[in-house]
Structure 1
Amino acid sequence: MPFPGLRWRGFTLQLFLLTILPLTILVFGVVFLSQSLHHQAMVQLVGDRNLRAVRAATDALSMQLDRKVYSLRTAARILEAGATLAGDSPALDLISAEFNGGLGLYDVQDALISSLKGRDDLQSLPASQSNFWVQIKATQPQSAILMTDLQSPGGTLVWVGLKLSDGRILVGGFSPEQVIQQTVASILTTNQARMLVVNQAGEVLYYSGDRATLGQPLDLPGVAEALNGESGVNTVASHHGDLVTAFSTIPQAGWALVLEENWEEIATPFLSTTQSAPLLLAPLLVLALIALWFGARQIIQPLQELEVKASRLARGDFAAIRKPVGGIAEIRQLQNALSSTADDLESAQAALRRYIGAINDGIEKERRGLARELHDDTLQALIALNQRFQLLHASAANPDERDSIALLQQMTEQTIANLRRMVRGLRPLYIEDLGLTAALDMLAKESSQVSGAPVEFSAAGEPRRLAGEVELALYRMAQEALSNAQRHSRATQMRLELNFEPESVRLTVRDDGVGFEVPEAPDEFAGQGHFGLLGLAERAELIGANLQVSSQPGNGTAVQVTVPNHSRETAIP
C-alpha cells in the first residue's frame, strides 16, 4: 500500500480521486498557459523584429528619396548657372543616371526644352499629369513635388518636379520598384516574409510576393494605419496561423510600407517539437477522465437525485425518498437517515391530520349546537316579538305610534333574516335534506346578496350523494373560497361549479379579480399571509382530495378541489 494508514475504501478513495482531478486540471492549465504565453512571446518577438526592420527600411527609402530630391535640386542649380541638358555636362550626366525614367526641362509655357532619356513620356507629361503640374507651379522654387505614374509605357514611375527661380520646371522620373528592391534586399532575409509598398491612392508600388494573391491593398492589415502616418504591429489570425504585420510610413512620399510574416513558418524544429509536449500528459488525462466519470457516477449523480427527492419530501411526497439512489456508502447512509425522518414526519403528519379532523368535528358540533340554540330560542323569541309588534300596530290609534311600531317591526324582521342567514352558515340544513348541489346553489345566491358581486352557480354530470363529512367539507371549502374572493380579489364576477364525473367530483371557484403569485407548496401559504388557502389545503387532506390553486397577477384566481370516488356515494333518484 503506497500510503500506509489510509483506508482505501468508500468515500476516502473517491475523495482522493476528486483531489487528483483538480490537480490534473491544474497541471494541464499550467502547461497550456505556458504554451499560450510562449506563443504570445514568440509573436511579440517576431513583431518587434519586423517593426525594427520596417523602420530601418522606411529610413533607408526616405534617404533614397531625399537623395533623388537633392540630386534634382543640384541639377536645377547647374541649369540656372547656364548649363543645358543637351550640353556636355558631366555633373548632369551623373545626375541623369539616378533618374532612369528621364530628366526633362520645361519652359514657362510647359513646352519641353530639352531632355535626357524618356523623351516620349516627358513630352506628354504636362497634359497627362495636369494636377502634378499645377502643384509644381504653385510651390516655391526648389520645393520638390513627388507623384506616382502607373500609366507610363515603361512601367510605374515616380516623378519628382520642382520650379526654377526663372519659372522653368525640371522633372526627373525613376522606377520605384527598382529603388525599393535595392533598398530592402538586405532586410528580406527569409522567403516567408513579404513586403508591400502602397501609395496614398492605394496603388501597389512594390510587392515581394505573388501579386495574384494580394487582393485589395487598402483592405490588408496595417495599410490604412500606415497611410495615416502610424507605425506599429498587428497580429491577425488566419487559416495558416497568426500573421504578424509590421507597418510604417515614408513621410516624404506618404507611402505605406508593410512587412507581413507568419511566425509559425519561421519556427525552428525544436520549437515545433516543444509544442507537442502536452501530448506526454495524455495518460494523466485519461486517469483524470476516469476519476471524473467515477466521481460523477458514484457521487454527483446520486447526490443530485437525492437532492430532488429531498425537495419532493419537503413538499410532502414521503414515498419518493424511499427509492434507492445508489452511490457510495455514505450517500446510502444519508438516504436511510432521510427515509427514517420521512417515516417519522409521515406519522406525525397523520397524527396532526387526525387532530385537525377532531378539532374540525368539534367546531362543527359547536356550530350545530349554537345554530340549534339560536334557532330554537333566540329566533323564536324574535318571531314572537314581531307578532306582538303586528298586534300593536293594528291597535294603535295615533299615526305617529303606528309609524314607530312599523319601524320597530321592520328592524325586527331584518334581524330575523340576518339570524336565519347566520344559522344557515353555522349549520347548512340544505346539505342534510337536499344534498350538496342545492346547498351550493343557495350559498351562491346568498353570497351574491352579501357581496354585491354576482356569483353564478352551475352543476354538471349525474348528481349523487357523498359521505356526510365529504359534502360538509366541500361546502366549507366553497364557503371559504368565496369569502376569500370577496375580501381580497376585488372581483366583479365569480363562478361556483360542481362537476360529477365517473371517477371523481370536482368543485371549482373562479373569479376575475386581481390574482396573486401562487406559492409552490401549501406550506408556504401561511408564510405569505394566505391563511384561507392553508385552511383549504388542510380540509382537502382530511377528505383525501386534491387541491389546485391557479392564479396570476391581473388574471384572476381559480380554486379547484377534486375528490375521488368514495365507497359511501349514493346516486340521487
Structure 2
Amino acid sequence: MSTQTPDVILIISIGTLLFLSLAGFITLLLVLYKQRYKAHQQQLITLEEVYQRELLQSQLEIQNQTLQQIAHDLHDNIGQLLTVVVMRLNTLDNETAEPDTQQSVRQTRDLVRTVIADVRMLSKTLDYDTVGRFGLLSSLTLELERIQRAGSIQAELVTLGDPYLLGEKIEMVLLRMTQESLNNALKHAEAQKLTVITDYKVDAFCLTISDDGRGFSVPDAAARTLDKAGAGLGNLHRRAGLLGGTCSVVSQPGAGTRIEIQIPRNQSS
C-alpha cells in the first residue's frame, strides 16, 4: 500500500499539471481570440472612418466645383447682364425730361448697381480660387459685408490672437461651414446680430458663429430625419471630424445659437 502512494501522487501531479497546462492553453487561446477580435473591430472602425472621410471629401469637392461654377456664372453672365441694364438706364435717363421719371430711373439704377456689387461679392466667396488667394479672414470679411449691406442684420467679425495659415483645403471647409451656419441663421433664427469669432490659439484654432435669434432645441433638431430641417447639424459635425476637430452646438428656444468649431493646430499646419 505504501509503495503505491508515490505512484498515485505522481499520477495526480501529472494529471494536475496536464490540467493546468490545458487550462492555461485554453486561457491563452481566449486571450488571443479577444485580442484578435478587438483588433478586427478596431480595423472595421478605422475602415469605416476612412470611408466616411473619403465620402465627405468627395462631397466637398463636388460642392466646391458646383459653387465655383455658380460663382463664374454670377460674375460672367448675371454681372454682365446687370451692367447692360445700368447702361440702358443711363440712356433712358438721358432721353427722359420728366423730373419724376428721371428720379425713378436713377433710383432704379442705384439699386441695380447695389445688386451688381452684391453679386460680385457673392461670387468671390463662392469661388474656391478666391479663398486660396486671399485666405479665410478676407473671405469671412466679404461674407459678412455682404450680409451687412442688406441693412436689416448687424454682422461682425472678431479676430483673437495672431492669425496663422491653416491650409487652403481646411480654410475652404471652414468657410463653407460658416456660410451654412450663417445661412441657417438668416433663414430660421430671426436674428438681429450675427457674430463670427476666429480665435488663433497656440495649440488650436477655434471658430465660433453665434446669433441672438430665437434658438432651437438641439436634441430635437438632431433627431429629425434627413429630409427635414436639422440634418445640417450632422454635416457640421462630420466636417469638423474630417479636419480632426470637434463641433459643438449650443442653443435653446429664445436664447440664440452658438456653433463652436475647434481644430488642433497640428492638424491645420
TM-score past 0.5 threshold: yes
Letter paired with 1:375? H
- On the 8 A contact 1:547/1:560 being kept in 2, the answer is yes
Please give the per-residue CA displacement for 1:331-360, whole angstroms capped at 9, x wherever unaligned: 996786565344224313312321221221
**Offset at residue 566 of structure 1 (A):** 4.6
The equivalent of 1:323 in structure 2 is none
- On the 8 A contact 1:393/1:402 being kept in 2, the answer is yes
CA 1:372–1:435 in 2, change beyond 3 Å: closer, same or farther? same
Letter paired with 1:533? L
The equivalent of 1:502 in structure 2 is 202
**Offset at residue 490 of structure 1 (A):** 3.7
CA 1:515–1:330 in 2, change beyond 3 Å: closer, same or farther? farther
Following superposition of structure 1 onto structure 2, how do residues 474-553 of structure 1 map, counting pairs within 5 Å? 474-519=174-219, 529-553=229-253
Larger RCO (alpha carbons 8 Å, 6+ apart): 2
Letter paired with 2:246? N
Provide the C-alpha distance between the structure 1 equivalents of 2:36 and 2:186, rounded to a whole number of angstroms. Answer: 47
Provide the C-alpha distance between the structure 1 equivalents of 2:149 and 2:112, rounded to a whole number of angstroms. Answer: 19
The equivalent of 1:352 in structure 2 is 52
Letter paired with 1:380? Q
Q: Which has the higher helix share?
A: 2
The equivalent of 1:137 in structure 2 is none
Provide the C-alpha distance between the structure 2 equivalents of 1:340 and 1:523, rounded to a whole number of angstroms. Answer: 31
Please give the per-residue CA displacement for 1:483-522, whole angstroms capped at 9, x wherever unaligned: 22333334443321101111121101123344444449x9
Please give the per-residue CA displacement for 1:406-460, whole angstroms capped at 9, x wherever unaligned: 4653453344244224323422776344322222233233334448332332101
Provide the C-alpha distance between the structure 1 equivalents of 2:38 and 2:199, rounded to a whole number of angstroms. Answer: 40
Following superposition of structure 1 onto structure 2, how do residues 134-149 of structure 1 map, counting pairs within 5 Å? none
CA 1:428–1:525 in 2, change beyond 3 Å: closer, same or farther? farther
CA 1:518–1:382 in 2, change beyond 3 Å: closer, same or farther? closer
Provide the C-alpha distance between the structure 2 equivalents of 1:369 and 1:464, rounded to a whole number of angstroms. Answer: 29
CA 1:447–1:411 in 2, change beyond 3 Å: closer, same or farther? closer
Provide the C-alpha distance between the structure 1 equivalents of 2:256 and 2:29, rounded to a whole number of angstroms. Answer: 50
**Given the alignment, which residue of 467, 484, 487 partners 2:167?**
467
Provide the C-alpha distance between the structure 1 equivalents of 2:213 and 2:32, rounded to a whole number of angstroms. Answer: 49
- So what's the TM-score if we normalise by structure 1? 0.37
The percent identity for this pair of structures is 25
Q: How many residues align?
A: 243
Provide the C-alpha distance between the structure 2 equivalents of 1:488 and 1:453, rounded to a whole number of angstroms. Answer: 13
CA 1:552–1:380 in 2, change beyond 3 Å: closer, same or farther? closer
Secondary structure of the residue aligned to 2:186 is helix
- On the 8 A contact 1:467/1:566 being kept in 2, the answer is no
**Given the alignment, which residue of 418, 423, 428 partners 2:123?**
423
Letter paired with 1:349? E
Following superposition of structure 1 onto structure 2, how do residues 358-437 of structure 1 map, counting pairs within 5 Å? 358-399=58-99, 402=102, 405-406=105-106, 409-410=109-110, 412-427=112-127, 431-437=131-137
- So what's the TM-score if we normalise by structure 2? 0.72
Please give the per-residue CA displacement for 1:224-251, whole angstroms capped at 9, x wherever unaligned: xxxxxxxxxxxxxxxxxxxxxxxxxxxx
- The alignment yields a C-alpha RMSD, in angstroms, of 3.7
**Offset at residue 363 of structure 1 (A):** 1.8
Structure 2 residues not aligned, in runs of 5+: 1-18, 20-26
Provide the C-alpha distance between the structure 2 equivalents of 1:460 and 1:564, rounded to a whole number of angstroms. Answer: 16
Following superposition of structure 1 onto structure 2, how do residues 106-185 of structure 1 map, counting pairs within 5 Å? none
Structure 1 residues not aligned, in runs of 5+: 1-8, 10-326
Following superposition of structure 1 onto structure 2, how do residues 194-273 of structure 1 map, counting pairs within 5 Å? none
Larger radius of gyration: 1
- On the 8 A contact 2:68/2:128 being kept in 1, the answer is no
- On the 8 A contact 2:215/2:255 being kept in 1, the answer is yes
Letter paired with 1:422? L
Provide the C-alpha distance between the structure 2 equivalents of 1:519 and 1:400, rounded to a whole number of angstroms. Answer: 56
Provide the C-alpha distance between the structure 2 equivalents of 1:393 and 1:529, rounded to a whole number of angstroms. Answer: 47
**Offset at residue 397 of structure 1 (A):** 3.9
**Offset at residue 396 of structure 1 (A):** 3.3
**Offset at residue 473 of structure 1 (A):** 1.1
- On the 8 A contact 2:240/2:261 being kept in 1, the answer is yes
The equivalent of 2:141 in structure 1 is 441
Please give the per-residue CA displacement for 1:352-410, whole angstroms capped at 9, x wherever unaligned: 32122122112212221221232123312321331242133124345566456446534
Secondary structure of the residue aligned to 1:550 is strand
CA 1:375–1:398 in 2, change beyond 3 Å: closer, same or farther? same
The equivalent of 1:255 in structure 2 is none
CA 1:495–1:403 in 2, change beyond 3 Å: closer, same or farther? closer
CA 1:383–1:350 in 2, change beyond 3 Å: closer, same or farther? same
Provide the C-alpha distance between the structure 2 equivalents of 1:568 and 1:492, rounded to a whole number of angstroms. Answer: 33
Q: Work out whether 1:340 is the aligned partner of 2:43.
A: no
